[in-house]
Amino acid sequence: MLDVWSWISDLPSSDNSEESAALLVFQLATSTCDPTRTLHLQARRTPSSSSPANPDAFFITLSVSLRGATPSTLWASDAYLLNSSGPTTNTTFLLPLLLHLLHEILTRAPTTAAYSSSGRFQKLRPEPVSWILDTHSPESFSSFFNLVLLTRLFWACACDAPSEVGSFYLDSLLSPNIHSLLTASKPVLAKFLVAVGADAELCFVRTLGYMLAKWLISREVAAAGAGLRALVPPLLPAGFSYAVEAYGYWALKGYAPIPAMRLSGAPIKPFLLEPNDLSLLKYALAHQQLEAVIQLHYSVAFHDAYVQVSARVDNLRFHVAKLRFSGESEYSEERHFVSRVRAWVGPEIGATYVAGLSAGRSTHNGESETTELLHVGKGGPGNFGTLRTRVKDWRWDQDVEGNAVVFDAVLHDTATGQEYCSGGGGGDGPRRMRSSTGPNRPFTKARGLIFAGKEYGDEVTWRLGKEMEGSVLKWRIGGEVWVTYFPNQVDTSFCETRSVEWCDEVDLPLIPGK
């Protein structure tokens, strides 16, 4: 696994010897096809004339270069003051470097509502980043720093350099490191996203999604060129998720690039599109990301003989974001939509302290009314009547698995009753999905979706033994989401359904007065 952090921590205090000079260069990656082509990170020291009272101080600059290619220098940092008599990772060097990397990542992210009218993320406050740096050990922080650097180099290599440099980065640097870094950095990354706020969080996770999408596209192109079936590698990170507990809420946030999600069944064989147009359509669909928030309200009541925990759905929010830039408009109206949602919450597996679980009603079907204008009788053109029908787009279910409660919502074709997530949608389905701007659409114009708590009915309760009072338990919160694609403004039969599953732990404080 890539470990630039340890190299920075061990930088020598002087570069006078040949050994010290060698330690100022870190090899990031080597091409498997051409061993002479290598990607290097180099530290350059310059004496500081601005601190005569501190002769041990000097400036350090980091740069990334690709040997065997033009241009050779791909990225360079600012110069940061460092005191060689103290630790290399002191905050006068590391905090400005980390802020510099993060700012360059966020200002290049695919467009979000967090951007100003100029189209750029404006400012990242240093306090949250400094808090992350100060409250984590070097061992736990290192993976997060390495992920940040890897993400920054994506913009430098895959977007600001010739295509062969981008291919080298995706194949030789990103591919062998992305899964391990995402997994190892998750605890610190989750705290970072919470600390910097929702706007910066969207910019960061959409950059990750864009980077993963480009990597997956390159893999598919390489597999097709070799005459192989493009398979998702077993260790592919299906995006990122984290869960938090605060102010009586449990919330799970999940992000998954569409091409990283599992295919549910085989896509329908397309027709009416030329192969080149179909490739452009799939390319546009690959630059999308599912963004989900599963938010539950919970409460704790203390009784003489037991503790009661109650939970209900507060908000389930889903958005399919386009990971594109303003100039990329090919097939911009084609987008996946959420076709099924499954969320669950409950105690950790194997918990024996739950004495009973009481669920609400098992099924609740919401209805919307549609009006159809009909010609009636044998009269003239003005002889019309209306027919009002009840349409049930979504079916909401509540179920129990062990000690966990499951909330399920399924979108189905109102004409045939077939579920879209199971490859259905025959009959009236594709036509209704095209009418995404109509008054009775089952999601927003951007194919997003919000469920409020009232759509799931009653709350659920658990009874716990009185001996659990005063403890903080770990509970599980998870979700599985299906997204389906039907053509919107393109004449093709191509459609598909994909799914992703997340599961994380949240705190359940059983402390009176909290």
pLDDT at residue 367 in the model: 54
Name the token pair of 155.
């913009």
Q: Indicate if 294 and 213 belong to the same structural domain.
A: no
- What is the arithmetic mean of pLDDT over 314-324? 90
Radius of gyration of the chain (CA): 27
CA atoms within 13 A on the CB side of 306: 13
**Both tokens assigned to 459:** 């709350």
The answer to whether the beta carbons of residues 320 and 447 sit under 8 Å apart is: yes
Q: What is the mean pLDDT of residues 139-163?
A: 91
The helix (H) or strand (E) run that includes residue 309 is strand 306-322
Query: What confidence category does residue 177 fall into, taking pLDDT thresholds of 50, 70 and 90?
Result: very high
Cα four-point dihedral sign 47, 52, 57, 60: negative
Both 218 and 299 in one domain: the answer is no
Residue 514 inside a domain? The answer is no
Q: What is the pLDDT of residue 332?
A: 76
> In this structure, are 16 and 81 located in the same domain?
yes
- The answer on 298 and 210 residing in a single domain is no
- Which DSSP state fits 260? G
Of 174-188, 249-263, 387-401, the poorest mean pLDDT is in 387-401
Look at residue 118 in the predicted model and tell me its pLDDT.
53
Tally of residues, the chain: 514
Examine residue 115 and state whether it is found in any structural domain, yes or no: yes
**Least confident residue range of 64-73, 183-192, 242-251, 426-435:** 426-435
pLDDT of residue 451: 86
Let me know whether 285 and 429 are in one domain: yes
Domain membership of residue 403 (yes or no) is yes
- Does residue 312 share a domain with residue 422? yes
How far apart are the C-alpha atoms of 271 and 269, rounded to whole Å? Answer: 7
The answer to whether position 397 is within a domain reads yes
136 and 53 within one domain: yes
Whether 188 and 257 share a structural domain: no
Reply yes or no on whether the pLDDT at 413 is more than 80: no
pLDDT for residue 2: 85
Q: Look at residue 389 and tell me whether its pLDDT is greater than 50.
A: no
Range of the domain at 108: 4-224
pTM: 0.86
What pLDDT was estimated at residue 212? 92
Q: Which residues contact 278 (CB under 8 A, 6 or more apart)?
A: 270, 492, 494
Examine the domain organization and report whether 100 and 198 are in the same domain. yes
Answer yes or no: are the C-beta atoms of 254 and 240 closer than 8 Å.
yes
d(CA 44, CA 61): 5
Distance CA 458, CA 360 (A): 5
What is the distance between the alpha carbons of residues 414 and 322, in angstroms, rounded to a whole number? 28
Provide the number of structural domains found in the chain: 2
Instruction: Say if residue 73's pLDDT is above 90.
Output: no
In the prediction, which pLDDT does 17 show? 52
* Gap between the Cα atoms of 278 and 271, Å rounded: 9
Chain centroid offset of residue 467 CA: 39
Do 344 and 489 lie in one domain? The reply is yes
Q: Name the least confident of 36-50, 76-90, 334-348, 362-376.
A: 362-376
Residue 239 resides in a domain? no
Q: pLDDT digit string (tens) for 461-483?
A: 999 999 999 999 999 999 999 99
Q: Which segments of 432-489 are extended strands (E)?
A: 449-452, 460-465, 472-485
Is residue 180 predicted with pLDDT exceeding 70?
yes
Please give the mean pLDDT across all residues of the chain. 81
Each residue of 279-313: pLDDT tens digit? 888 888 999 999 999 999 999 999 999 999 999 99
* Statement to judge: residues 23 and 160 lie in one domain: yes
pLDDT band at 19 (very low <50, low <70, confident <90, very high): very low
Instruction: Provide the percentage of residues in the chain whose pLDDT is more than 90.
Output: 41
Give the side-chain half-sphere CA count within 13 A for 144: 20
Is residue 203's pLDDT more than 80?
yes
Q: Which pLDDT score is estimated for 13? A: 60
pLDDT in tens, 429-453: 555 555 444 555 667 777 788 888 7
Distance CA 477, CA 250 (A): 8
3-state secondary structure 61-119: EEEEEEECCCCCEEEECCCEEEECCCCCCCHHHHHHHHHHHHHHHHCCCCCCCCCCCCC
In a domain, 505, yes or no: yes
Does 229 fall in a domain?
A: no
Provide the angle, in degrees to the nearest 10, between the axes of the packed helices 91-106 and 126-134: 130
Q: Annotate 123-148 with b (16+ C-beta within 10 A) or e (fewer).
A: ebeeebbbebbeebeeeebbbbbbbb
Domain boundary among 192, 224, 256: 224
In which band, very low, low, confident or very high, does the pLDDT at 427 lie, cut at 50, 70 and 90?
A: very low
**Final residue belonging to a domain, choices 224, 254, 270:** 224
Q: Where does residue 120 fall: left (phi above 0), alpha (psi -120 to 50 degrees), or beta otherwise?
A: beta
Range from 200-214, 277-291, 406-420, 488-502 carrying the lowest mean pLDDT: 406-420
Q: Identity (one letter) of the amino acid at 505?
A: E
Q: Give pLDDT, residue 433.
A: 54
Closest by CA to 240, choosing from 188, 167, 172, is: 188
Q: What is the per-residue pLDDT across 41-72, written as a single tens digit (0 to 9) for each? A: 998 877 766 555 556 677 888 999 988 666 57
Confidence of residue 206 (pLDDT cuts 50, 70, 90): very high
Q: Which of 224, 253, 270 is the last residue of a domain?
A: 224
Tell me whether residue 232 is in a domain: no
Distance in angstroms (rounded) separating the CA atoms of residues 243 and 293: 10
pLDDT range class, residue 190, cuts 50, 70, 90: very high
Q: What is the tens place of the pLDDT at every residue in 93-143?
A: 788 999 999 999 998 888 654 444 555 666 889 999 999 988 988 888 999
* 216 and 262 together in one domain: no
pLDDT at 377 over 60: no
